[in-house]
A and B are shown apart, each in its own frame.
Chain A
Amino acid sequence: MTDQVTNRQLFFIIVITLVGFSIIELPKSLAESSGRGAWITLIIASISFGVLAAILAYLGYLFQGKTLFEYSQLLVGKLLASFFVMIYLVYFTIILAFLNRSAAEVIKTDLLIKTPIWYTMLFMLIFSGYAASKGITNVGRILEYYGVIIIFLAICIHIAMFFQGDLIDIKPFYNSAEKIKYFTALPEVIIAFLGFEVLSIIPFSRHNGKKAVVYVIGAMLFVGLFYILIVETSFMVLSVEDTKNYKNTLIAAMRRVEIKHLQFLVRLDIIFFMAWIFALFSTFTVVTCTAAGLLKKLFPSLKRQWNLIVILVVAYMLGVLPSTRLASQILTVTTKNLGLVPAGVIPIILFVIAKVKRYG
């Protein structure tokens, strides 16, 4: 089966990959950096990253049936293309390792207090690896299916939080004295908008067409709006000042909500945790699949299963060995410093070269 996805699947791949993990700590980062104007920061970020995602999608549209490795070879030659793919591979492997670690830390704090982290990490990697072994087409279908469920559950939870919280806690919506802050807070939200680089491994077909670019931009804007809903409802429940005191802010906010009329669904924990774990699973599956796909480009003779095993073993060792503080630092450094290279720098270089060489 050729690795193809529909535009709708593309939308969900991007949305769920972005949303999967970063939502837990996003309200805290924004409360500290941009305060009540967080929605403005998010809109700016979603537009900016939307443009970058559109560039990557446009390259996919220009070079139909080819992934980043293939069209880079046409544009910059094999050596440089391999170098680019190496960067993407290292990036995705580190992201997989440390997102896995961070998720395991959250699970240890809030769900499975005594279960060791190595166990949770291994468990998540095995399941994600199994799903990733099915290929990008099936991964696209999985995310298309789960995406609807996750978004629906998330919207239900946040509507409940909206009605439980106080709108006055998030006012004023705009404060002219703080407008610089809205821009200086952008580095804090980079991690929340990284993930669309998975497009590097998805070949577009003629069925995707130019509409794929529209879907990708739509996905980024949707993610921005989704984050606004999450962040603002968290602020309404926790208040901006108290949000800064929690690490896993979204979970703290969710646990404050009780809807007395719903009988045994008074507490939203079960819905939230199921939706979040589905999102985690989806994110790890996509990232694993992408990393394995990139490895296959570099080492085509390796079978798909063994690609996966190598990625999973490396990601597991990288994730489990460092201490919590070091792991968190590595993740922050990777995303803030390295993240823009595969997300922005490389696609822009390729886009410019493609235009200069008059492709499309």
Chain B
Amino acid sequence: MQMITKYEERVKGLISNNPDINKRIIKGCSGEVCVLFIKQLTDREKLSNHIIQPIMHYITRKNNLMINPTIAMNSIILAENCLIEEEEGRLLENLLEGMTLILFSDTNTYIVVEIKLVASKSIAGPELTFTLKGARDTFIENLDTNLSLIRYRIKDPNLKICYHKVGRRTKTRVAIVYIDDLVNDAVVTEVEKRMNQIDIDGISASGDLEVMLSNDKLNFFPQSGIIERSDVACGALLEGKVLIIVEGSGIVLVVPKVFCEFLWSSEDNYDNPYFGLFSKVLRLLSIFFSISLSALFIIITSFSYDLLPAEYIITLSVSRANVPFNSLTGVLLLEGIVELLREALLRIPKQIGPAVGIVGAIIIGQAAISSGIFSPLLLMLVSLSFLASFVAPDFTIMNPLRLMKFFLILLSGTLGIFGFSFGLCFLMTMLISTNSFGIPYMAPFAPYNKRDVKKIFLYNKATTKQRPHFLRTNNQRRAK
């Protein structure tokens, strides 16, 4: 009784600060059992049926016998995950994690039972990536559900899951998942090292963690990819990559991720390799066009007019005849409008999204040409560049490239083809000198690996028996 009273005093102090901590005392002849829980995090049905009711039955049947933690855990409590805890300091921590605590009047030890119930959505279809032949189950905010999606696909005993807690206040659970005999050990070590170096109040989603795990906090290019679908995640694990799953986030991070992998889609693997090759080349070209079309337009209309044949020069001049702005101003304005439209469409409610899209894109565009503010060619090029920026399956790579587009526009507007070429050199230097957890970002192009380049374009799981060399995995062979 004294012990419980001592605990109760401490708990009373807590309850007065946190009214959502609840207690349920069950009295018997020779002692008391106190059940502490936070009702928002506890499955109350299980609490009643699997803890309170069995304890009460036991006390009723064995009236004179003392209930103790060992007996309770072994014979009374109907929960799969419970353990006996002695540390007083962890009392509050366990409660805040959503555990249910069972305290006993005559002992310091207590039982920690996991009967958490957190409201979360069910597994739904993908929203970020379209798939025809792939699976459609996506990750959700519940860590255990996410892990279950991986576990049921990969039944390898070497599949390892390491848990970390990130955030002093949020204590968010983060799982690092990899296949032990495949993965590059240096990457795992690096991930764990960076994870341990994080000292922050808390994180709310995987996006927060992504920024904190990067090489350099001001780094331009993303070093980890995002995965929404479980089949893609398992594919990444089988390639020897490391997944980082954050509780409370439906987006999983994958490391390491090199530049060209942002442009590869899982659909390429499910298709015929030649069509996969076509798609990959198309995406690479689209990326180039999306960052350079506007800049090339400025070069041709403001600097090197004779880059084009004579007929085109005159046609181009005529199309820009009554346009009041010079090409640099026009391009910057139009690109600005397009970025505005993009931001607006991201935030707009679904119901009025299409209407705004029509107003913005078609009506404004049409009005701009009719009023002679922009030339039709410029509008077409900027639209093409806008469309081309959506080809990357992992769109996180496009954000820095969109910024680079403006950089190239400014350089072209200042120095024509000279500025544009140096801008491209600068971009390539940045890409080549970046690395993702020790793996060169532009692999397998720089450093060049002939086999990897060939396999990366003409990829077919049946014929590509080895993993990419640049990942430096422990086991290179996929198949015999």
Direct A/B contact, Cβ within 8 angstroms: yes
Q: Which of B415-439 contact A (CB under 8 A)?
A: 415-422, 424-426, 428-429, 432-433
A145 near B309: Cβ-Cβ < 8 Å: no
B447 near A266: Cβ-Cβ < 8 Å: no
Chain A residues with CB below 8 A from B428, complex form: 142, 145-146
A277 to B426, CA, bound (A): 12
Residues 303-332 of chain B, each 1 if its beta carbon lies under 8 Å from chain A, else 0: 110111100100000000000000000000
B415 near A112: Cβ-Cβ < 8 Å: yes
B425 near A131: Cβ-Cβ < 8 Å: yes
Chain B residues with CB below 8 A from A124, complex form: 422
Chain B residues with CB below 8 A from A123, complex form: 415, 419, 422
Chain B residues with CB below 8 A from A263, complex form: 309
Q: A130-B429, A138-B433, A145-B442 are in contact. Are A277 and B306 (CB under 8 A)?
A: no
Nearest residue, chain A, Cβ from B299:
A270
B447 near A269: Cβ-Cβ < 8 Å: no
Total CB contacts across the A-B interface at under 8 A: 93
Nearest residue, chain B, Cβ from A143:
B446
A278 near B421: Cβ-Cβ < 8 Å: yes
Q: How far apart are B186's CB and chain A's nearest CB, in angstroms?
A: 13
Cβ-based interface call for A328 (8 A):
no
B421 near A6: Cβ-Cβ < 8 Å: no
Cβ-based interface call for B445 (8 A):
yes
Among the interface residues B307, B309, B418, which one has the most CB atoms of the partner chain A within 10 A? B418
Cβ-based interface call for A351 (8 A):
no
Q: A111-B418, A267-B307, A267-B309 are in contact. Are A141 and B447 (CB under 8 A)?
A: yes
A144 near B417: Cβ-Cβ < 8 Å: no
Residues of A within 8 A of B (CB-CB), count? 34
Q: How far apart are B446's CB and chain A's nearest CB, in angstroms?
A: 4
A264 to B442, CA, bound (A): 31
Cβ-based interface call for A118 (8 A):
no
A138 to B432, CA, bound (A): 7
Cβ-based interface call for A338 (8 A):
no
B interface, size bucket: 20 to 34
Q: Is the interface of B mostly helix, strand, loop or mixed?
A: helix
Cβ-based interface call for B448 (8 A):
yes
B417 near A141: Cβ-Cβ < 8 Å: no
B309 near A130: Cβ-Cβ < 8 Å: no
A251 to B28, CA, bound (A): 100
Q: Is the interface of A mostly helix, strand, loop or mixed?
A: helix
Chain B residues with CB below 8 A from A264, complex form: 308-309, 312
Cβ-based interface call for B256 (8 A):
no
Question: Given A120, A130, A140, A281, which contacts B421 in the complex, CB threshold below 8 Å?
Answer: A281
Among the interface residues A8, A9, A124, A281, which one has the most CB atoms of the partner chain B within 10 A? A281
A62 to B440, CA, bound (A): 29
B309 near A266: Cβ-Cβ < 8 Å: yes
B421 near A273: Cβ-Cβ < 8 Å: yes
A93 to B446, CA, bound (A): 28
Chain A residues with CB below 8 A from B415, complex form: 112, 115, 120, 123
Q: A112-B418, A115-B415, A145-B445 are in contact. Are A134 and B433 (CB under 8 A)?
A: yes
Among the interface residues B303, B424, B446, which one has the most CB atoms of the partner chain A within 10 A? B446
A266 to B416, CA, bound (A): 20
Cβ-based interface call for A274 (8 A):
yes
Q: A130-B429, A142-B432 are in contact. Are A112 and B416 (CB under 8 A)?
A: yes
B446 near A270: Cβ-Cβ < 8 Å: no
Cβ-based interface call for A127 (8 A):
yes
A263 to B445, CA, bound (A): 31
Cβ-based interface call for A107 (8 A):
yes
Closest 10 CB pairs of A and B: A277-B421, A141-B446, A134-B433, A145-B446, A266-B309, A281-B425, A138-B433, A131-B429, A141-B432, A270-B307
B residues whose Cβ falls under 8 Å from a Cβ of A: 303-304, 306-309, 312, 415-422, 424-426, 428-429, 432-433, 440, 442, 445-448
What are 25 A-B interface contacts by the 8 Å CB criterion? A9-B447, A112-B303, A112-B415, A112-B416, A123-B415, A124-B422, A131-B426, A134-B433, A138-B429, A140-B447, A141-B440, A141-B446, A142-B429, A144-B446, A144-B447, A145-B442, A145-B448, A266-B308, A267-B307, A267-B309, A269-B304, A273-B421, A274-B424, A277-B422, A281-B425
Having A123-B415, A127-B422, A266-B309, one finds 10 other A-B pairs with CB under 8 Å, namely: A130-B426, A131-B426, A140-B447, A141-B433, A141-B442, A142-B428, A145-B432, A270-B304, A277-B421, A278-B421
